[in-house]
Amino acid sequence: MKRIALAGIVTALITSATVSAAVIAETFDPLRTPAAQAPRAEQGLLIDIEQTVHRTFTVGDHGILLSQGIGESDWQQAIVPTSVLLTSISVVDAEHIWAAGHQGALIRSIDGGDTWQFMLDGQQLLDLEYEWLQDKQAALEDAIENAEDEYEIEELEFELDELFFHIGGAEIQFDVGPTKPFLDVHFFNREVGLAVGAYGTILRTTNGGESWQVMNDAIDNITGYHINKLVEGPEQSLILVGEAGLLARSDDLGETFEMLDSPYHGSLFGAIFDAEERLWVHGLRGNLYVAEDGYSFQQVMVNTRYNLNGATLLADGRLVFVGHAGVLAVVNPDSQEVELFNHPSGVPISNLVQGTGNELILVGRAGVQTFALPAASH
């Protein structure tokens, strides 16, 4: 009898646990669930890192957002309103900071990173893009009705068919729920900024994120390649890079873009300007290119086939590119000489900033790590 009774209790517990797990799975919404406080958050997957004059910020998996005072050793985890993977952080000034992530998450702090609030989520992104698509449909139908040339009508009808495909996809997303990730966010100042991401998504705001304009057709990207990175350059120019060598430039705070002749047709993961305002772009399989004039690129040979994911400009003028397998490529931008190092962990590194002296602060699959870079030889 005892064994039968015990078996019944175990069965009841298993059934209860299964039902509870199913309920949790149905009700858990990482987009709107605050990130859990993790005792070793600095050891988890981290994607991006930036600095203000007072603090260093890094973001990553499960809504982790950490900060460290300049010159301090401890990392503090912020309370943020989402548990999605955060992919990017953009420092505007010491008080205004933005972070972007999966499922259309855009969050902002206006008190130096102490508190964070939602400014956009994936459902709002779906609504914005669907309204934008409907406006395009109305404009195309009006153009077809008023067109007189048969060839022009044929071209417009083809565009309309393509648009219907995208509208159908958006309607499916309303049933599935928000899934589109933002991959980067960048603000020029407290008011004007852009967020970019998967399938060619481009949003722009001119009022500090209170409202957003869809700009997916601001660049020639009808295939919908992912947009990976936004990088500000001299005189508030903006470089956009992405899949399949996607490369564009804006000189009006992201209002319009000019497509650039890309030196590479694989994925580009980032760009950086050196102290002499030369433009460097980097990406898959160790590919690195530089343009003296910002337009005409030549390849810089890096003796690695690992992806180059992030970059920083050091105080001494050198550039450091980091990537998979713990690779660090240190480049003298004047001579284009490259010196390779490997972090002892051997894990992928996604980005970095310079710490005190020649110390590099790295983030990636193993969380926060450091690397003591040898001083430049003269």
Q: What are the tens digits of pLDDT across the range 152-198?
A: 999 999 999 989 998 998 998 898 889 999 999 999 999 999 999 99
pLDDT at 7: 43
Phi (first) and psi of residue 15, to 5 degrees: -65, -45
Tell me the mean pLDDT in the region 370-376.
92
The CA-based dihedral angle spanning residues 22, 23, 24, 27, taken in that order and rounded to the nearest 10 degrees: 120
**Is pLDDT of 21 > 50?**
no
The answer to whether the CB of 239 falls within 8 A of the CB of 231 is yes
Rounded Cα–Cα distance for residues 107 and 85 (Å): 12
Rounded Cα–Cα distance for residues 370 and 372 (Å): 7
Residues β-bridged to residue 97: 91, 109
Tell me the mean pLDDT in the region 10-16.
38
Q: How many angstroms from the chain centroid is the CA of residue 283? A: 14
Residue 238, H or E segment = strand 238-242
Q: How confident is the model at residue 15 (pLDDT cuts 50, 70, 90)?
A: very low
Residues β-bridged to residue 77: 66
For residue range 22-49, list pLDDT tens digits in order.
Answer: 444 457 899 999 999 999 999 999 999 9
Tell me the mean pLDDT in the region 250-279.
98
Rounded Cα–Cα distance for residues 115 and 117 (Å): 7
**Is pLDDT of 377 > 90?**
no
For residue range 233-244, list pLDDT tens digits in order.
Answer: 999 999 999 999
- What the block records as the tokens of 75 is 């990392």
**Is pLDDT of 12 > 50?**
no
Q: How confident is the model at residue 354 (pLDDT cuts 50, 70, 90)?
A: very high
Which residue's structure tokens are 């992201």? 254
pLDDT at 378: 61
Tell me the mean pLDDT in the region 120-148.
96
pLDDT at 26: 58
**Is pLDDT of 18 > 80?**
no
Q: At what angle do helices 122-146 and 150-176 cross, to 10 degrees?
A: 160
pLDDT at 4: 40
